[in-house]
Amino acid sequence: MEELKYTEITGKVIGAAREVYKVLGNGFQEEMYRRALAIELPLFDLNYTWKLDQVIYYRNIRLGTQREHFFVEDKVSVEIKTVIKLEDVHLAQALNYLEAYNLEEGLLINFGGESLEFKRLINTKYRPG
């Protein structure tokens, strides 16, 4: 298994997500958790950016754009879900985003269950440079 490089960043993101979950609980749409996490991250000394209309390529051909996406410290992708339980399809989607954006690590965070659920992800196809 690959070694996680950004554990300090992902640990802080998870801490921020726990705070959001503690306040909001479950039952809201993804956008509400995204907005709350955007408020919480700076309190954990983390910078974030929104990538709107991220371009996706296939064999160097532009397929189109992907909806907004959350990046922390320009190193970690954060995918937010609000489902009862994370399933393999959610994991595959988050891994696809890591590959499409060529990022090494990401987090898949689910606010929809009875407790906060998260998965740390590594892009095994990451290309430095």
Residue 66 lies in a domain: yes
Higher pLDDT, residue 9 or 54 = 9
| pLDDT value, residue 54 | 72
Tell me: the pLDDT tens digits for 56-87?
778 888 888 876 678 999 899 999 999 999 99
- Asked if residue 2 has pLDDT above 70, the reply is no
CA 111 – CA 28 distance, rounded (Å): 8
- Asked if residue 35 has pLDDT above 60, the reply is yes
Residue 128 lies in a domain: no
CA 75 – CA 88 distance, rounded (Å): 23
| pLDDT value, residue 18 | 98
Residue 57 lies in a domain: yes
Range of the domain at 50: 7-122
Q: How far is CA 105 from CA 21, 57, 108, in A?
A: 22, 20, 10
Residue 37 lies in a domain: yes
> Which CATH number does the domain housing residue 116 bear?
3.40.1350
Mean pLDDT of 88-106: 90
Type and span of the H or E element at 18: helix 7-24
Residue 111 lies in a domain: yes
pLDDT interval class at 52 (50, 70, 90): low
Mean pLDDT of 16-23: 98
| pLDDT value, residue 16 | 98
- pTM over 0.85? The answer is yes
Q: How far is CA 95 from CA 21, 58, 80, 104, 127, in A?
A: 23, 16, 13, 10, 14
| pLDDT value, residue 67 | 67
Residue 11 lies in a domain: yes
Residue 2 lies in a domain: no
Residue 30 lies in a domain: yes
Overall number of domains in the chain: 1
